[in-house]
């Protein structure tokens, strides 16, 4: 039998999805699974986007331009300009979700074996994208005790060498919800310009910033025209994850010309997704005001609830809709399996993403989990109570197993 590729063997499992079989078994057993593992909001998609799909009247669903429909790119450019990002439609390539935009950026900007610095914990799929592109991720660790703030500039200097080609950030962050300050972005700007690097910013959560704080795009920083590349998506902004429409945005003409060749090779982004995305640009501002307020309330229910549990620590995120929490367990991976496979409280259990998969450094994140506060408030409250009761029970189970092992 032929062997699969080395990349196929090395491709990491998603910590967000790998426990799905356990969740399916729990559901089949009649247990309610509260899904906090994945950033799939239950917020309704804007009506203007849904109506655009319902009213689609063309007789053939055709390919679009490889860069995306011109009208959509012009609409996106106007959206960005309204967010202090001065670009035009030629600076935008519409992609199959934000994921393809990240892959295009890596394939365009970096050669195999080039090194890219990324603050960890980071979006787990960066590992897979880097493997596809042959890129080496060099993690710079941020810490829960510091609410995952950017490390001092000196720490970046320790990692930069003649193979370093870029830095990747997610702002606001997935999985931490950390929102970079303007001062932190200025620090990154200095590092990038001093070392002639690319700076890739995953900015898909820019609408969701809390506590009177604002988002600052890397393309609004002076002198970054040839260094800054934005990854974007409609998935979370408009609660349209299944539309699979994102964007690669840069003022660097060489980057966009090269990325366009990758875009042509995959033909085009999805037609109906672009129809929905273009219509979503007309979403009223009240939609975002309401959604932001809802996420803020959800954040406080989940994070405050987690911090009320003995032994649990969870920094309050400044943006997005994720939180990382430290649990009083040795292996969050084992706990996340156990709570799905062996535990329920009043007919419910919780699905989380083990934190280890969001780190590149060995041994980090073993007692952490990522949670997404994308569900109704009463479900989040229930999830907190499930965890409050599950953790001491799990401790007893682990102690009993350890005692049995000693006595064997």
CATH number of the domain encompassing residue 101: 3.40.640.10
Residue 1 domain flag: no
Residue 368 domain flag: yes
Domain region containing 23: 6-43+286-400
Residue 406 domain flag: no
**Model-level pTM?**
0.93
Residue 210 domain flag: yes
Under the banding of pLDDT at 50, 70 and 90, the label for residue 121 is: very high
| DSSP classification of residue 381 | H
Contacts of 147 (CB under 8 A, 6+ apart): 178, 315, 316
Question: Average pLDDT in the 185-198 region?
Answer: 96
Domain boundary among 247, 280, 313: 280
Task: Please choose, from the candidates 236, 137, 227, 91, the residue with its C-alpha nearest in 3D space to the C-alpha of residue 177.
Answer: 236
At 346 the three-state DSSP class reads coil
Question: Do residues 73 and 154 share a domain?
Answer: yes
Under the banding of pLDDT at 50, 70 and 90, the label for residue 353 is: very high
| DSSP classification of residue 343 | -
Question: Do residues 28 and 53 share a domain?
Answer: no
Question: How many CB atoms neighbour CB 196 within 10 A?
Answer: 10
Compute the distance between CA of residue 147 and CA of residue 202 in angstroms, rounded to an integer.
Answer: 19
Task: Please choose, from the candidates 111, 102, 91, the residue with its C-alpha nearest in 3D space to the C-alpha of residue 200.
Answer: 102
Could you tell me if 209 and 203 are in contact, meaning their C-beta atoms sit under 8 angstroms apart?
no
Question: Average pLDDT in the 240-247 region?
Answer: 96
Question: Do residues 68 and 31 share a domain?
Answer: no
Under the banding of pLDDT at 50, 70 and 90, the label for residue 154 is: confident
pLDDT of residue 279: 98
Under the banding of pLDDT at 50, 70 and 90, the label for residue 139 is: very high
pLDDT of residue 348: 97
Alpha-carbon separation of residue 45 from 215, 246, 311, 314, 379 (angstroms): 23, 16, 37, 29, 20
Residue 22 domain flag: yes
Half-sphere exposure of residue 123: CA atoms within 13 angstroms, side-chain side: 26
CATH number of the domain encompassing residue 34: 3.90.1150.10
Question: Do residues 208 and 134 share a domain?
Answer: yes
Question: Do residues 170 and 225 share a domain?
Answer: yes
Based on the structure, what is the number of domains in the chain?
2
Domain boundary among 280, 312, 344: 280
pLDDT tens column, 201-218: 999 999 999 999 999 999
Helices (H), 315-376: 332-341
HEC string for 286-313: HHHHHHHHHHHHHHHHHHHHHHCCCCCE
Contacts of 204 (CB under 8 A, 6+ apart): 98, 231, 232, 233, 235, 236, 237, 246
Compute the distance between CA of residue 162 and CA of residue 196 in angstroms, rounded to an integer.
Answer: 11
Residue 338 domain flag: yes
- State the average pLDDT for the chain: 95
Question: Do residues 158 and 259 share a domain?
Answer: yes
Question: Do residues 274 and 337 share a domain?
Answer: no
Residue 405 domain flag: no
Question: Do residues 174 and 65 share a domain?
Answer: yes
Residue 408 domain flag: no
Q: Does position 407 have pLDDT exceeding 70, yes or no?
A: no
Domain boundary among 264, 280, 296: 280
Question: Do residues 126 and 264 share a domain?
Answer: yes
Q: Which residues pair with 273 in a beta bridge?
A: none
Question: Do residues 16 and 67 share a domain?
Answer: no
pLDDT tens column, 60-111: 999 999 999 999 999 999 999 999 999 999 999 999 999 999 999 999 999 9
Task: Please choose, from the candidates 95, 48, 31, the residue with its C-alpha nearest in 3D space to the C-alpha of residue 279.
Answer: 48
Question: Do residues 128 and 68 share a domain?
Answer: yes
Question: Do residues 389 and 243 share a domain?
Answer: no
């Amino acid at each position: 039998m032929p062997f699969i590729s080395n990349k196929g063997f090395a491709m990491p499992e998603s910590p967000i999805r790998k426990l799905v079989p356990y969740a399916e078994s729990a559901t089949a057993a009649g247990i309610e699974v509260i899904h906090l593992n994945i950033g799939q909001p239950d917020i309704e998609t804007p009506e203007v986007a849904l109506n655009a799909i319902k009213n689609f009247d063309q007789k053939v669903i055709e390919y679009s331009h490889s860069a995306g429909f011109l009208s959509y790119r012009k609409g996106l450019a106007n959206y960005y300009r309204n967010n202090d990002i001065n670009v035009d439609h030629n600076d935008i390539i519409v992609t199959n979700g934000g994921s393809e935009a990240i892959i295009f950026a890596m394939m365009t900007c970096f050669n195999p074996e080039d090194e890219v610095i990324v603050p960890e914990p980071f979006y787990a799929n960066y590992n897979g994208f880097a493997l596809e592109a042959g890129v080496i991720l060099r993690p710079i660790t941020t810490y829960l005790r510091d609410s995952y703030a950017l490390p001092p500039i000196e720490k970046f200097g320790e990692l930069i060498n003649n193979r370093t080609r870029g830095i990747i950030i997610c702002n606001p962050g997935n999985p931490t919800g950390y929102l970079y300050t303007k001062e932190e972005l200025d620090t990154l700007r200095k590092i990038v310009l001093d070392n002639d690097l690319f700076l890739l910013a995953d900015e898909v959560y820019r609408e969701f910033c809390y506590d009177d704080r604002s988002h600052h795009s890397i393309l609004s920083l002076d002198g970054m025209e040839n260094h800054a590349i934005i990854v974007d998506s409609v998935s979370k902004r408009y609660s349209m994850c299944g539309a699979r429409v994102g964007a690669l945005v840069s003022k660097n003409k060489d980057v966009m010309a090269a990325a366009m060749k990758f875009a042509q090779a995959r033909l085009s982004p999805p037609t109906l997704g672009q129809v929905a995305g273009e219509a979503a640009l007309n979403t009223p501002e009240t939609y975002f005001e309401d959604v932001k307020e809802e996420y803020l309330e959800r954040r406080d229910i989940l994070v405050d609830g987690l911090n009320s549990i003995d032994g649990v620590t969870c920094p309050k995120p400044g943006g997005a809709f994720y939180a990382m929490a430290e649990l009083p367990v040795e292996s969050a991976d084992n706990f996340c399996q156990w709570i799905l496979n062996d535990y329920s409280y009043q007919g419910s259990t919780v699905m989380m993403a083990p934190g280890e998969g969001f780190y590149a450094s060995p041994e980090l994140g073993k007692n952490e989990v990522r949670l997404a506060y994308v569900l109704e408030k009463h479900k989040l409250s229930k999830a907190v109570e499930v965890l409050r009761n599950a953790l001491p029970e799990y401790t007893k189970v682990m102690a009993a197993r350890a005692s049995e092992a000693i006595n064997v």
